[in-house]
Amino acid sequence: MGNVPHTVKHCLSYEQLIQDYPRLKRWLLEEKTNTGHEYPEFVKIVEVGPRDGLQNEKEIVPTGVKIQLIDMLSGTGLAVIEATSFVSSKWVPQMADHTDVLRGIQRAPHVRYPVLTPNMQGFQDAVAAGATEVAVFGSASETFSKKNINCSIDESMLRFEEVINTAKEKQIPVRGYVSCALGCPHEGYIQPSKVSEVAKRLYELGCYEISLGDTIGVGTPGSMLKMLQSVMKEVPTNALAMGVCVVDSAVAGLGGCPYAQGSSGNVSTEDVLYMLHGMGIETGVNLAKVIEAGDFICNALRRETNSKVAKARGRTL
């Protein structure tokens, strides 16, 4: 090994090293598989089925069923379960029972149950119902913002600022969501810089974590990469969800797509878990129990699961 210092002195590139020492390549490949530096060791799954999932299902589910679903999910090892949304029942009838749901669930220790609070009214109702974590939703697309919540991105940020400041006073953590991160049903392609701008604002307002949402699922690995590169310049990596070490998903892939008739929506928690566990990444979640929770809700909704893993385990309706 006497010639190593010589190599190190004159070779500054990997290619040069491989050229001079072709046998190195095999060693280096082995080193890579052994240390596995490319992926995180642990991924936190944020389960959005009971809120994002059920909100986008055609059938409205009784309060008792929602509570049971959340209780089943609480027993799987999931650390974060989005429970409900304190939005006006006029707009989202599926979430009209928000107070009853939040009061009815059995809160497992070490599990958090964030709820959506689009404005001060919702925030106050949430706190009155016992919420200990809230979430706000911003959009990377102006048109989507106007069509969805009837105001511009800037105006929505003002609303959120109010919520976040009040939450800070009460020491309630706030999670921020950015929708249309990889495309908008109205505007089409969304500039990564716009996504990072919105993510940065939410982070600076005080959100502890920003979840970047590919709302209509049009993104591909390339556009995902570009968007993340842009956002990572503005928001610390450990405060980002989706693609780094925090992933949102929905049990049984609940939730269709309101912008594409008949299409699927959320990725299935079961399928994400299968992949992560297969890659040796820890999640703390029991896949079999999540499959059971998925079976339960699909039976209640009288629909087939969207999860390939659940289908493969022979549990279709």
Q: Which one of the spans 78-86, 90-98, 136-144, 223-231 is the region binding other proteins (CB under 8 A)?
A: 223-231
- CB of residue 27 to other proteins, shortest distance in Å: 6
Burial class (CB in 10 A: 0-12, 13-18, 19+), 73: buried
- CB of residue 279 to other proteins, shortest distance in Å: 4
Helix (H, G, I), strand (E, B) or coil at 274: helix
Q: Which one of the spans 159-167, 168-176, 203-211, 276-284 is the region binding other proteins (CB under 8 A)?
A: 276-284
Closest alpha carbon to 110 in 74, 69, 70, 71: 74
41 binds other proteins (CB under 8 A): no
CB-nearer residue toward other proteins: 111 or 240 = 240
Degrees, nearest 5: CA angle 152-46-208? 55
316 binds other proteins (CB under 8 A): yes
- CB of residue 271 to other proteins, shortest distance in Å: 3
**Within 13 Å of residue 163, how many CA atoms lie on the same side as its CB?**
31
Helix (H, G, I), strand (E, B) or coil at 122: helix
Tokens encoding 50: 């009971």
312 binds other proteins (CB under 8 A): yes
14 binds other proteins (CB under 8 A): yes
Closest alpha carbon to 210 in 171, 169, 181: 181
Among residues 275, 292, 296, 303, which is the contact residue for other proteins, using CB under 8 A? 275
In this structure, which amino acid lies at residue 28?
Answer: L
Helix (H, G, I), strand (E, B) or coil at 226: helix
DSSP 178: E
How far is Cα 75 from Cα 111, in angstroms, rounded to an integer?
10
257 carries an active-site annotation:
yes
CB-nearer residue toward other proteins: 36 or 64 = 36
Which residues bind to other proteins, rule: CB under 8 A? 1, 4, 7-8, 11-15, 17, 25-29, 31-33, 36-38, 183, 185, 188-189, 216-223, 225-226, 228-229, 232-233, 237, 257, 259-264, 268, 270-271, 274-275, 277-280, 307-309, 311-314, 316
The residues assigned a catalytic role are 257
